[in-house]
Structures are given as structure tokens and as C-alpha cells.
């Protein structure tokens, strides 16, 4: 049984079938829609260039070919690992031999805001469509984006593409600092400013103003008053593990698993909800990345069928903001060192390596997809930091390096 | 097997090249996937299926076997 029917849940089910599992299979998802791809929600769907049909992960016919019991629009509310049963929202329960938990994350909300019309979260297709409708409501809509991480930055970019007035608010001094570190984050901040976003970094939200139940503005912690017709709250998310309370599973920052993504006998976790020890980097991690949902689900399916191999990937993620296509492999610790391997930071095309504890642990590319893919090998090899830093010798231009390790 | 790449969906992740470098490449200027072999030989079919499975944009369709 698989609980969670987004990328990780669906991929687990598909991979089990691909590998020849022909027993009973149940796929449970709390959204009414058939499984869909989330990255376009904050990009093409929000900007209105794509319609929902285009992001379906499988056609109805392909879902039917899975030969699985599909329970969509149902949420799991409890787990009993002793009797191996999952309780559903209707009070009924379903038994399992092996359970895969893929319930993802729930977005954080701001206290005292979400009862107001015009205040939005952005996680599901319905969220994206509701936000899009509000953004299109009038041509002069003023948008406040609270939180300058992946989601907030992409939402701000989509709203600017719609020529709307956009303010982005974050308590940190630059956007995406937590993800990329100060130097690259400063470039993201400059990108938003260049594209007409009013940046309010280093400040939070004190309170909201309303009229007739609809948001009209907000006051920031530095005292600034902002008018806003639409507020996007994008302040991170937490693993959706509430339904697992009392199950006996180890719950921390997600469902805590061993290196094979196994949480308990007969129980595995995959995707955003899973915390596991990644042997490649020698640390525990939980990733909210699109590719990880696929790769981890494939690994879990293999392990369910007995392969029992540690899942030790080099993580990959990307974000699209205006004309910047930013992609990254690896991990990006706050205290990592940086070395430019290709292009120049100011030039709009570059690849930088991140070094930590004497090794290359990450590479990040800005409008340089081909070079980045070649330099990924440095992270796979855990290349000594001394081989790329601090300043690469003159002969080690990105091109030479790319060629030498291709 | 007949392989199709939907370039309008591609997000230039390059995962297809990592999975099957004899069948896929990326355009130099923007990283969008390029099909090198639309009828790859049988020994590459598993790699192509894996490329389609990991593509985060669902931009690859391997039809037939």
C-alpha cells in the first residue's frame, strides 16, 4: 500500500509494477485530482501559460493499466503498525503487507491571516488556480509575497510576468540565502530588483489589514505599511506526519528512516516526507526536490522487493526566475566555500563549486546547463576541494575542466 | 522503440543524458534536450525508459518495446 499519490507515491507504484510485482496494490491520495506534476504550479500554471491538463503525471488509461486500487480524495488519519492497518478519513481502515509513506509536506501558514480572502498558500493545483484567479482579478492588483525561498521567488517572478506590482518580504537579508548562501543569494536579490520587484528583506510581517473579510494590506516589523490585494504566503513547509502520531514510527524532521529508506519492518518512506541517512554525504537529509521524489521512490520500490540497497544520491534541483535558469547538484552548507569553475558571477552564465570539509559537495549553475551536468561528476567523486579552489589555475577554465572530466 | 522528446516541456535538467548519453544530448545554448537516436537499439531500451521515468518535466515518451 502506498499513502500519498503525488510524484513519490505514484512512482513507487509504477516502479513496483515495472519490476514485476503483480500482487495487490493500493494507492491513496488526499487530493481529488489524479496525480500531477508540481513544479509548473509556481511557474507556467500560475503565469497562465499552461492549463492543468498539461501537468498530469499519467493519463487515465495509464492509471487504469496500473491495476491498482486508487483511492483519491481520501486522507489517511492513522497507522497501526502492529495490525498493519491504515485508517482513512471516513473511519474505515485498509490492511497492508508493506506500507510506503509518501504524504509529502504541508505549507506553513501565518497566524491570523488565512481567514482573509486574498491570502494564499501555494502547494496544490487548487491553490495555484485560486491564486491565479485572484492575480487576474484586476489589472492593477498589488501583490505581497511573504517568504523569498524557491516558491516565493518563483511566485514573485510569475506575478511580475503578469505585469503586477510585487513586493517580496523576508526576514533574511537576501532571497534564497538558506538554499544558496550569501553570494549567490545576493545575485538572486539583484535579479528580482532588476525585474521590478520591491524587496523588503530583513523584515517580517507584524499584522494584516482587512476590509469586509478581504486583505487590504500589511504592516511590517520595521513599521512599513504596504497596500496589498493579494498575499502569497511561502514560508516553508513541514512534513505531513500528523497522521502517524502514536504509530510507533520514529518521527522527527519527517519519517526517520535508515539508509535504505526503511522506517520500520514493512514500512518505508519516500519523497518530501522521508528523512534518511545519505551515505554519500555522510549525513541525514530530507529533500523537497522534484527529482528526489522520483529517485527515492524508485529506490524504495526496489528495496520493498528485496534489493535492500542504501539510497545515496547526489541531489538535484532547479528554479526558474525571469531569464535565470538556476540548477544545482549536491548539498549547500551555509559555511561552504565557493569557487567559480565556469563563466563569471557577474556575467549571467556561470558554474560555482561549493566546498565543505575539504571536498566538493555541490555545484550550482546559472544559465549553464551543459557545463553544470559535466561538472556534476566532481560531486559524485567527492573531489578534493584543493583541486578546484580557491582560484582555479589559469589553464583550468570551465571548458578545459569540462573536457577533462567528461 | 520510437522515442519522442517534447522540447516545449523540457526544463534542461540533463537527466536524460545522464541516463542514456547515446540517445540524448542537450543544446549548448539553453540545455534543452536533443534526440540523437529516435529508434535506439534494444540494448539501450532500459536506459531510455529510465530517462523517461526520471525526467522531471515528463518530456520523454518511449513508445513500443
pLDDT reading at A275 higher than 90: yes
Mean pLDDT, residues A74-78 taken together: 98
> What does the pLDDT read at residue A125?
97
- Looking at the 3D structure of chain B, how many domains does it have? 1
Percentage of the residues of chain A whose pLDDT score is greater than 90 = 91
A319/chain B closest Cα distance in angstroms: 10
In the block, residue with C-alpha cell 509513506 = A101
Q: Do A57 and B58 touch (CB under 8 A)?
A: yes
CB of B54 within 8 Å of a chain A CB? The answer is: yes
> What does the pLDDT read at residue A112?
85
> Which pLDDT band holds residue A391 (cuts at 50, 70, 90)?
low
In the block, residue with C-alpha cell 490492511 = A95
Strands (DSSP E) contained in A186-295 are 198-201, 205-211, 214-220, 225-227, 230-233, 237-239, 251-252, 254-256, 262-264, 267-269, 274-278, 283-285
> What does the pLDDT read at residue A359?
97
pLDDT reading at A403 higher than 80: no
Q: How far apart are the first and last CA of chain A?
A: 41
Q: What value does the mean pLDDT of chain B take?
A: 96
Interface test with B, best of A34, A364, A373 (most B CBs within 10 A): A373
**Per-residue pLDDT reduced to its tens digit, A216-273:** 999 999 999 999 999 999 999 999 999 999 999 999 999 999 999 999 999 999 999 9
CB of A320 within 8 Å of a chain B CB? The answer is: yes
Q: For B23-50, give one letter per residue: b (16+ CB within 10 A) or e.
A: bbebeeeebbbeeeeeebeeebbebbbb
Q: Do B13 and A295 touch (CB under 8 A)?
A: no
Q: Do B14 and A57 touch (CB under 8 A)?
A: no
Residues from chain A that touch B14, judged by Cβ atoms under 8 A, are 369-370, 372-373
> What does the pLDDT read at residue A137?
86
CATH number at B57 reads 3.30.70.20
Interface test with A, best of B11, B21, B33, B52 (most A CBs within 10 A): B11
Q: Do B53 and A294 touch (CB under 8 A)?
A: yes
CB of A44 within 8 Å of a chain B CB? The answer is: no
Mean pLDDT, residues A391-398 taken together: 48
In terms of C-beta density within 10 A (0-12 exposed, 13-18 middle, 19 or more buried), how is residue A360 classed? Answer: buried
Residues from chain B that touch A318, judged by Cβ atoms under 8 A, are 11-13, 56
A359/chain B closest Cα distance in angstroms: 22
Q: Could you give all domains of chain A from N- to C-terminal order, each with its CATH number?
A: 2-106+238-304 (3.50.50.60), 109-235 (3.50.50.60), 323-405 (3.30.390.30)
> What does the pLDDT read at residue A177?
86
Closest CA to B30 of A320, A369, A345: A369
> What does the pLDDT read at residue B64?
82
Task: Give the residue numbers spanning the domain of B28.
Answer: 2-63
Residues from chain A that touch B27, judged by Cβ atoms under 8 A, are 370
* C-alpha to C-alpha distances, A119 to A88, A159, A233, nearest whole angstrom: 30, 15, 7
Mean pLDDT, residues A31-40 taken together: 96
Mean pLDDT, residues A158-171 taken together: 95
Mean pLDDT, residues A316-330 taken together: 96
Report how far residue A254's alpha carbon sits from residue A236's, in angstroms, rounded to the nearest whole number: 14
CB of A14 within 8 Å of a chain B CB? The answer is: yes
Chain A, chain B: beta-carbon pairs less than 8 Å apart = 53
Q: Do B14 and A294 touch (CB under 8 A)?
A: no
pLDDT reading at A300 higher than 70: yes
Which of A18, A54, A290 is nearest residue B56 as measured by Cβ atoms? A290
Mean pLDDT, residues B41-61 taken together: 97
> What does the pLDDT read at residue A397?
46
B60/chain A closest Cα distance in angstroms: 12
Q: How many CA atoms lie within 13 A of A154 on its CB side?
A: 23
Q: Do B56 and A294 touch (CB under 8 A)?
A: yes
Q: Residue A107: phi, psi to the nearest 5? A: -70, 145
ipTM: 0.95
pLDDT reading at A406 higher than 50: no
> What does the pLDDT read at residue A394?
47
CB of A34 within 8 Å of a chain B CB? The answer is: no
Mean pLDDT, residues A37-53 taken together: 94
Q: What value does the mean pLDDT of chain A take?
A: 94
Which of B31, B56, B57 is nearest residue A369 as measured by Cβ atoms? B31
> Which pLDDT band holds residue A390 (cuts at 50, 70, 90)?
low
Report how far residue A146's alpha carbon sits from residue A239's, in angstroms, rounded to the nearest whole number: 20
Q: Residue B33: phi, psi to the nearest 5? A: -65, 140
Mean pLDDT, residues A109-123 taken together: 95
Mean pLDDT, residues A280-293 taken together: 97
The neighbour count for residue A356, using CB atoms within 10 Å, is 18
> Which pLDDT band holds residue A395 (cuts at 50, 70, 90)?
very low
CB of B21 within 8 Å of a chain A CB? The answer is: no
Percentage of the residues of chain A whose pLDDT score is greater than 70 = 96
Interface test with B, best of A37, A370, A376 (most B CBs within 10 A): A370
Residues from chain B that touch A319, judged by Cβ atoms under 8 A, are none
Amino acid at each position: 500500500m502506498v499513502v500519498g499519490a503525488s510524484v513519490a507515491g505514484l512512482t513507487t507504484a509504477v516502479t513496483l509494477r515495472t519490476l514485476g510485482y503483480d500482487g495487490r496494490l493500493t494507492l491513496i491520495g488526499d487530493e481529488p485530482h489524479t496525480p500531477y506534476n508540481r513544479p509548473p504550479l509556481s511557474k507556467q500554471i500560475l503565469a497562465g501559460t499552461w492549463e492543468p491538463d498539461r501537468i498530469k503525471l499519467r493519463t487515465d488509461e495509464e492509471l487504469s493499466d496500473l491495476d491498482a486500487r486508487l483511492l483519491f480524495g481520501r486522507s489517511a488519519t492513522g497507522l497501526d503498525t502492529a495490525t498493519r492497518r491504515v485508517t482513512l478519513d471516513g473511519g474505515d481502515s485498509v490492511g497492508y503487507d508493506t506500507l510506503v509513506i509518501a504524504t509529502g509536506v504541508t505549507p506553513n501558514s501565518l497566524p491570523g491571516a488565512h481567514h482573509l480572502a486574498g491570502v494564499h498558500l501555494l502547494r496544490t493545483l487548487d491553490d495555484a488556480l485560486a491564486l491565479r484567479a485572484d492575480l487576474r482579478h484586476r489589472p492593477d492588483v498589488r501583490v505581497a509575497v511573504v517568504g523569498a525561498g524557491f516558491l516565493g521567488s518563483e511566485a514573485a517572478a510569475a506575478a511580475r510576468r503578469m505585469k503586477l506590482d510585487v513586493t517580496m518580504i523576508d526576514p533574511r537579508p537576501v532571497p534564497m540565502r538558506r538554499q544558496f548562501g550569501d553570494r549567490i543569494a545576493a545575485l538572486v536579490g539583484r535579479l528580482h530588483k532588476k525585474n521590478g520587484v520591491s524587496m523588503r528583506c530583513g523584515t517580517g510581517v507584524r499584522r494584516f489589514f482587512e476590509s469586509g473579510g478581504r486583505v487590504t494590506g500589511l504592516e511590517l516589523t520595521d513599521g512599513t505599511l504596504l497596500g496589498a490585494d493579494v498575499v502569497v504566503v511561502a514560508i516553508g513547509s513541514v512534513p505531513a506526519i500528523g497522521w502517524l502520531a502514536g504509530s510507533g514510527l520514529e518521527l522527527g524532521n519527517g519519517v526517520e528512516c535508515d539508509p535504505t529508506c526503511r522506517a520500520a519492518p514493512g514500512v518505508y518512506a519516500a519523497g518530501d516526507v522521508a528523512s534518511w541517512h545519505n551515505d554519500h554525504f555522510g549525513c541525514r537529509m530530507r529533500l523537497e526536490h522534484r527529482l528526489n521524489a522520483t529517485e527515492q521512490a524508485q529506490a524504495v520500490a526496489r528495496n520493498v522487493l528485496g534489493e535492500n540497497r542504501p539510497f545515496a544520491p547526489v541531489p538535484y534541483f532547479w528554479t526558474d526566475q525571469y531569464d535565470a535558469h538556476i540548477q544545482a547538484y549536491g548539498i549547500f552548507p551555509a559555511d561552504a566555500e565557493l569557487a567559480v569553475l565556469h563563466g563569471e558571477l557577474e556575467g549571467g552564465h556561470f558554474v560555482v563549486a561549493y566546498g565543505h570539509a575539504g571536498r566538493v559537495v555541490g555545484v550550482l549553475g546559472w544559465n549553464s546547463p551543459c557545463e553544470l551536468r559535466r561538472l556534476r561528476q566532481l560531486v559524485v567523486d567527492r573531489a578534493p576541494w584543493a583541486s578546484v579552489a580557491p582560484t582555479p589555475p589559469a589553464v583550468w577554465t570551465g571548458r578545459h575542466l569540462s573536457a577533462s572530466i567528461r | 522503440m520510437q522515442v519522442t522528446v517534447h522540447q516545449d516541456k523540457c526544463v534542461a535538467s540533463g537527466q536524460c543524458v545522464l541516463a542514456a548519453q547515446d540517445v540524448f544530448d542537450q543544446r549548448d545554448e539553453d540545455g534543452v534536450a536533443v534526440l540523437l537516436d529516435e529508434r535506439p537499439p534494444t540494448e539501450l531500451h532500459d536506459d531510455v525508459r529510465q530517462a523517461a521515468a526520471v525526467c522531471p518535466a515528463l518530456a520523454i515518451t518511449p513508445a513500443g518495446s
